[in-house]
Structure formats: structure tokens, C-alpha cells
Amino acid sequence: MDLPIIAAQAKVDTGDTAWMLVATAMVLMMTPALGLFYTGLVRSKNSLNTFMMCIAAIPISVATWALIGYSLAFDGDGSLIGGLGHIGLQDVGFEPRDGTTIPHLVFMAFQATFCILTVALISGAVVERMRFGAFLVFAALWSVLVYAVLAHWAFGGGWLISGGTLDFAGGVPVEMGSGFGALAAALVVGARTGYGRQALLPHNGVYAVMGAGLLWFGWFGFNGGSGFGTGNAGVLAFVNTLLTPAFSLITWFALDLLRGRKVTAIGAATAIIVGCVLITPAGGFISPGWAMVLGAVGALPCYAVIVLRPRTRVDETLDVLAAHGIAGFTGILFIGFVAQFAWNDVADGLFYGNAAQLGDQALAALAAPVYAFVVTYVLLRVIGALMPLRASEDEEAQGMDVVLHGEEAYSSGEGAILVLPEADGRAEVPVTPT
């Protein structure tokens, strides 16, 4: 009787695979969407550099993930770190990944898009002053030393998942990893010139809102795909990804009204992201009803940190800590209270008679921030000892786009003189009468 079931489990399911292929592409799109969101929030002279940090996260993370990161995260069930069996994508083929009904290749690609997004997220802490080269080095090392390790703990068979911690789509590696890593990065790189003295304002609110909207769309793949198929868990997470951010938005509107008598667009963009992050760890584990509560209540600590952080000297520029670290932390803990076996077939939380689940969640909520903060801090100190992390004050004044990339986002072309390519950047094109 057992035999047919085992055979069925070892087979690739076409429906599941079709959805996961789409979900992977949707999550990949979240990184340029994040670039758009971040770009809208910085000054115009740093637009391209900010976008480029997100774009650069794609090739860097894909390379490190394929070469070593995936293996360390998902090979074997070592307590702290995975094995080296999948280095260079060895033995990653068409056969289904253990515990899923999708090809191992698709599973690897889906997880790769998570690593990319997380590396892109952390750039929000250091935009407008970090040198591009130093960021590339940091991104490559961080994707292995922090992301792959946390992914192993929470997803790949490490001590958190084997100890019973529930993390559906990455509250530990993606959200707390980027959020608390971002805090460390902001502390090491230091504040922007003029921070706390001059107004350093978003230059395009429309980009920010559009980026947030595209992120929400992509997040249906992110959470909905984390069930690795079209089963109940994925469906539940997909629908909860609709519910939670909607209720975060309502809370945010109310808080904006109470605080400043006006509902702000950039606040709304932030609320969408906070809502999506809140439901990320909890997506497939809590009922739709609790998902709505999570959206409404979970937005409160994030809002508080966003209001209080600019009063400190810490220039964690785009509030990755509040929107990802604090929201991920809240979502992870929330599971410990309201997880429901009737909905998730895995475990109950405190409210349904299983207090131990809250302990497992609290462990993750403590371990992930500490690991992400400490390793990020040390890593950036080491890189900083080898190369300058940030641009000079003068370069910062000119803007990263011109200084680091030799381009402007909003070039008018006025006063620009064409240079003949063969003249090695010296000779000007003679002006010919028309």
C-alpha cells in the first residue's frame, strides 16, 4: 500500500512546476521593482547609482548562489551550515527536489531569486554615499556568509527548521537578515553628509509608489510560491498576501491622519511593503482572519520605528530595519501565537494550545537578528580596512551618478559636446554648418 504513495511523491507535477516557473520570474521582477522604489526615495543625483545597486545584486547573487551559496543553504541537514554537494550546481537536475514535486533546477532558481532580493534590500541602508565597487564586494560575500547561512537555518534543514521554527517564505533569511544587516551596514558606512542638518528628500514619489505596487505583485510569487506548488499552503499564502498588506495600508492611513492630519503617498508605499513582509513568514501557517489582524496590528511597531529612527544619528537611509527587520520579527513571533493546525497541517500556536511554538519562534526572532547584525558589521569592517567604503564629501556633493557611473538620470543634453570615439575622449566633433 505504501509503495504507490512513495512513487507519487517522487514524481514531478506539471501543475506545480508551471506555477513555480511563473513564481520564480515574478520574484526576479521584485528586484528591479525594489530598485524603482529605492530610486524614488533618494535625491535625483543618486538615482542611477541607487537603481544600479539593485540591478548589480542580480548577477552577483546568481553567481555566488550557483557556485556555492545554494549548496551551503540546501545541501544536507547540518545544524549550522549545509554541505558542498551542490557546488557549481552539481547534481541539481530534473529530478524532483526532496519534499517537493518540482524539478530540483526550478527549486534552485526560485531560491536564487530570494537571495538576489535580499542582497538588493540591504543596499537601502547605504545609498547615496557607498562606493559601487565596495558594494559589489560586500554583496558577493554577504550573499554567502549571511544569506546562505540564514537560509540554511530556516529552510534548508538547519537548527531552526529542524527545531520546529516555522518560517514560510523567509522571515529569517530575507527580512530579518536584510533588516538587521542594514542597521549594521548603516553604522559602519556612516551617515550621509548633512544628515540630520539638511533635508535629504525623496525626489520622485511616483517611482516609490509604483515600485511598491510592482513589489506587491511580485510578492504573490514570493509567498505563493513558497508552498512549492499549488497545494493548500501556497494557496493560503497567496491569498494572505492580498489581505495583510491591505490591512497594513488601512492602519498606516489612520496613523498618518493621527500624526499629521494627511495621508501620505510615500507612507502608503511603505505600508504595502510592511504588509507584504509581515505575511512573508506567516503566509501558509495562519488563517485569513489572523492575516488581516496581522496586517492591522503588525504595522504599528514598524510605523513607530520609521518615526523614531530619523531622530537618531543612525542614517539607515531607506528604513530597511523598520520595513523588513521589524516587520519580519513581528511576523515570525505572530506565528507563535496564531498558527493553526486546521489551516496549515503542521502546528498550532499558543492561542490554539501549543505554547512551545511561541518558544521556537522567539528563538528565531532572537538568533537571526544577532547573526545578521554581527556578521554584517564584521564583514564591512574587514572590507573597509581593504578599500574605502564611501565616496568623499566632494563626490557625495556631486552625486554618485556622475562620479561613479559617468551618467545622469535626467540629462538634458544642454551644454554637452560630442566626443569622437577614435580620438580617445579628447577631440571634439567639429560643428558643421547645416
Partner 1 sequence: MKLVIGIVRPEKANDVLEALYRAEVRGVSMSRVQGHGGELDRVETYRGTTVKVGLAEKVRFEIAVSDPFVEPTIEALRAGARTGDVGDGKIFVVSLERAVRIRTGETDVEAVTPVGE
183 Cβ contact list (under 8 Å, min separation 6) = 125, 314, 316, 320, 321, 325, 373
Decide if residue 418 touches partner 1 (CB under 8 A): yes
Decide if residue 98 touches partner 1 (CB under 8 A): no
CB count in 10 Å sphere of residue 101: 21
Closest approach of partner 1 to the CB of residue 406, in Å: 5
Size of the site for partner 1 (CB under 8 A): 19
CA dihedral 388, 42, 321, 350 (to 10 degrees): -150
Phi, psi of 420 (to 5 degrees): -70, 130
Decide if residue 416 touches partner 1 (CB under 8 A): yes
Closest approach of partner 1 to the CB of residue 429, in Å: 10
- Each residue 166-195 as x (binds partner 1 by CB under 8 A) or -, in order, gives ----------------------------x-
Decide if residue 408 touches partner 1 (CB under 8 A): yes
Q: How many whole angstroms separate alpha carbon 53 and alpha carbon 24?
A: 21
47 Cβ contact list (under 8 Å, min separation 6) = 39, 203, 401, 409, 410
Can you list the positions of beta strands (E) in 38-124?
Answer: none
CB count in 10 Å sphere of residue 160: 25
511554538: which residue's cell?
357
CA dihedral 50, 30, 121, 241 (to 10 degrees): 140
Decide if residue 402 touches partner 1 (CB under 8 A): yes
Options 4, 417, 430, 432; binder of partner 1; rule CB under 8 A: 417
Closest approach of partner 1 to the CB of residue 84, in Å: 41
Q: Is 246 helix (H, G, I), strand (E, B) or coil?
A: helix
Q: How many whole angstroms separate alpha carbon 431 and alpha carbon 421?
A: 16
Decide if residue 398 touches partner 1 (CB under 8 A): yes
Closest approach of partner 1 to the CB of residue 48, in Å: 11
Decide if residue 196 touches partner 1 (CB under 8 A): no
Stretch that binds partner 1, among 127-135, 201-209, 380-388, 392-400 (CB under 8 A): 392-400
For partner 1, which is the closer residue by CB, 353 or 421?
421
Stretch that binds partner 1, among 160-168, 235-243, 373-381, 395-403 (CB under 8 A): 395-403
Closest approach of partner 1 to the CB of residue 128, in Å: 12
211 Cβ contact list (under 8 Å, min separation 6) = 33, 34, 35, 36, 37, 38, 39, 40, 269
Closest CA to 237 of 299, 175, 281, 297: 281
Decide if residue 425 touches partner 1 (CB under 8 A): yes
Options 4, 421, 430, 433; binder of partner 1; rule CB under 8 A: 421
Relative orientation angle of helices 265-282 and 14-41, to the nearest 10 degrees: 150
For partner 1, which is the closer residue by CB, 152 or 192?
192
The DSSP call for residue 130 is: B
Closest approach of partner 1 to the CB of residue 312, in Å: 21
Options 2, 4, 198, 434; binder of partner 1; rule CB under 8 A: 198
By the criterion CB under 8 A, which residues form the site for partner 1? Answer: 194, 198, 394, 397-398, 402, 406-408, 411, 414-419, 421, 425, 428
